[in-house]
Structure 1
Amino acid sequence: MENKKFPLELTGPEIPMVRFDRVSKRYGDLTVLDALDLDVRANEMVAIIGPSGSGKTTVLRMLMALELVDEGVIYVDGTPMTHMPKNGGLVRASKSYLRKMRENIGMVFQHFNLFPHMTVLENCIEGPVQVLGMRKDEAEQRALDLLDMVGLADKIDQYPARLSGGQQQRVAIARALAMRPKIMLFDEVTSALDPEVIGEVTQVIRKLNDKHDLTMLMVTHQMGFAREIADRVCFFCEGKIAEQGPPEQLFDNPQNERTIAFLSAVLDAG
């Protein structure tokens, strides 16, 4: 079905790298995202927090085209991602269009999702060679540079089972970066890690902001991680953003009653 209510592309002095424009997602009678509006600036680091079932991970899954929107449009760098232009309006994107748009986006999962039968180096070159069509020697050089950046240059011949959780997560970050995305998504990347290795992963993510022009969205249940790493924190509740702002504002002086109750519960539990 054509959708002429939304612009065919975003224009203006500052085009957001990501825009959710009145995006809704439902599973039967359950509304997971409810007419969500969210802009993320280029190079901004946004942390998404909130109770289970509030729609946090659905935001990432829709950006990865793992879930399809029911209403609204998602734009990436000014171009509609979930829809494509046709006859002066927007229609649902084809699979090939979605694949092309998704090349701009990398995702790091909670449980790493590394290929267990491949070495660290092989994990990092598989995507660039098979998806981007890079020569193997070029892909290897890119992978070696990234593995050096995340502190794993000495582990390139190891298999994932021989690595610690923190090391596996850093390989997963390098693997996603090897695709040269504009946007990086992190889904609970520290929750499967021991507390002593969360710091090393946090340090790597910080380094990404210094060395790569990346826009980042991070879903997390760990408030300390969100406070330390993000430029902006969005508190989700019932499929909408109930409150958002810089970490010091949202954590130290929340205004929304639901934010206050949520933070009180999770911080007391911690």
Structure 2
Amino acid sequence: MLRLHAGPWVADLAPEDGGGMTLLRHGDHAILVPAPEGARLGGPFGAFWMIPWANRLDGGRLGPHRLPINRVPEGTAIHGLSRDRAWDVAEAAPDHAVLVHSVNAAPYRYEARLATTLTTDRLTLDLTVTNRGAEPLAFGVGWHPWFVRPAGTRLAFRATHRCTHDARCLPVSAEPTPGLDGGEDVFLGLDTHFPGWDGTATIAWPELTLTMTATGALATNLQVYAPRDRAVLCVEPSSHLPDAPNRPDFARLGPMRVLAPGESLSGIITLSVEGSHRGGGAA
């Protein structure tokens, strides 16, 4: 574990566990559901990175390539390769850390660099992924946080489209939408993708309001997951539509990006918090 702190922020990173985050607090308030001691990241707690693709690939298909099926019941390759691999600590300070790792898992060869910085008013996650293979290849990235969801939680963001999904949560169509703005009546039960995200989302808890802002590759698409059986809310910035390589009819709403050898994909996520005057319990 690598602990960072600045002002009211505290974050625990797990370099050996996919470079993920096992704890994030602001003062006395949990932002992410804390990971149980000794538990591997993957949910429903903490946060992890999805590299070199986000969400699902049907049958693990990526053009002529076949990626390992790691969600066997539904026959999908889910959430990429990096979350199951250790990262190295390249830099470490009380409020800043840089994690790096290299992956060689055919057809992918890539390097990832993640800079995590805390200041008194925000958390910043700065990610760059570089194709180190000999051939051009499609890449994507995403971040999968498990935010707390106390009673009274509200979610708001703007997007241009909302996907419908089959029983395996693979998109089958996309309809225009202004986005979401509301409480559990709006988001509970979703495992839904929103293309055309404008890069900003707010989660309002009874005592705090969190603003998430993304730029670069992470600012185009958003996955929202709010299961009915546990008090969590996943609001996941990503660079592409789930299963985009196999959805030519509407992959334009979030294609994976083909990187030539040496090319990079990068994006930044910032989280900031303000107090709320709404009544209710603690976040």
| Short-chain TM bin | under 0.3
The alignment's TM-score, normalised by the length of structure 1, stands at 0.27
Tell me which structure has the larger Cα radius of gyration: 1
**Higher helix proportion, which one?**
1
**Higher strand proportion, which one?**
2
Greater relative contact order (Cα < 8 A, sep 6+): 1
The alignment's TM-score, normalised by the length of structure 2, stands at 0.26
